[in-house]
Amino acid sequence: MVTKKKASPKKPPTFAKATGGKAAPKKAASTSAKASVDKPKAKKAPKVAVEKPKKDLEAKVKKELAKKVAAKPETSKRETKKELPKVSVIRIRLSAFDHTVLDEAAAKILESAQRTGALVHGPIPLPTQIRKFTVNRSTFVHKNARDQFEMRTHRRLIDLSETTFKTMESLQSLSLPSGVDIEIKMG
């Protein structure tokens, strides 16, 4: 037995290191100790192998971040274009009983749309709707005595093309005179 220990001088020092400097027991115990010595080495080897890729990954991540920071002005231009998607056409129909108030509202809409860079078509005057009411003057007799009243609804149409999100915001923030009905269709 003694000769076998001398034949393998490398194994007992690793066993002594793994057990904390204790002497090697009998041969049967030394075989089980060899198995236990192999297990910590197997555990240590992956730890070392895992630490190296972490350092490599950290270096790769830092390089990618540096590339993104260097390319950031280009992406910011693209992002601003994505934030301002173009709406194809906005159709605005204005209607009011007073044509002067209607024309003032149309002028405000035109100014705000042109400031944002949209193409403006209009205001196009649409036919005036006339609602006539005929009423008897008296309550019971005199069928031939009547009054006629009419309500004129003036209408305008404005088409906006090549509009952006800024155009929509400016249209929503407008303060238009009272008595003007607005219908906005996007399409």
| pLDDT tens track for 128-185 | 999 999 999 998 888 899 999 999 999 999 999 988 888 888 988 889 889 999 998 9
CB burial readout 14-29, b (16+ within 10 A) else e: ebeebeeeeebeeeee
Average pLDDT over residues 99-119: 93
Tell me: pLDDT of 52 over 60.
no
Instruction: Give dist(CA 48, CA 30) in Å, integer.
Output: 27
**pTM higher than 0.75, yes or no?**
no
- What pairing do the DSSP bridges indicate for beta strands 119-136 and 180-186? unpaired
Average pLDDT over residues 19-48: 50
Instruction: Give dist(CA 41, CA 89) in Å, integer.
Output: 72
Dihedrals phi, psi of 159, to nearest 5 degrees: -110, 130
pLDDT band at 49 (very low <50, low <70, confident <90, very high): very low
Q: Which residue has the higher pLDDT, 61 or 172?
A: 172
| Integer-rounded Cα radius of gyration of the chain | 44
Contact 112, 170 (CB under 8 A): yes
Nearest partner of 128 among 101, 159, 96, judged by Cα: 96
For 87-139+146-186, which CATH class? alpha beta
Nearest partner of 173 among 96, 119, 108, judged by Cα: 108
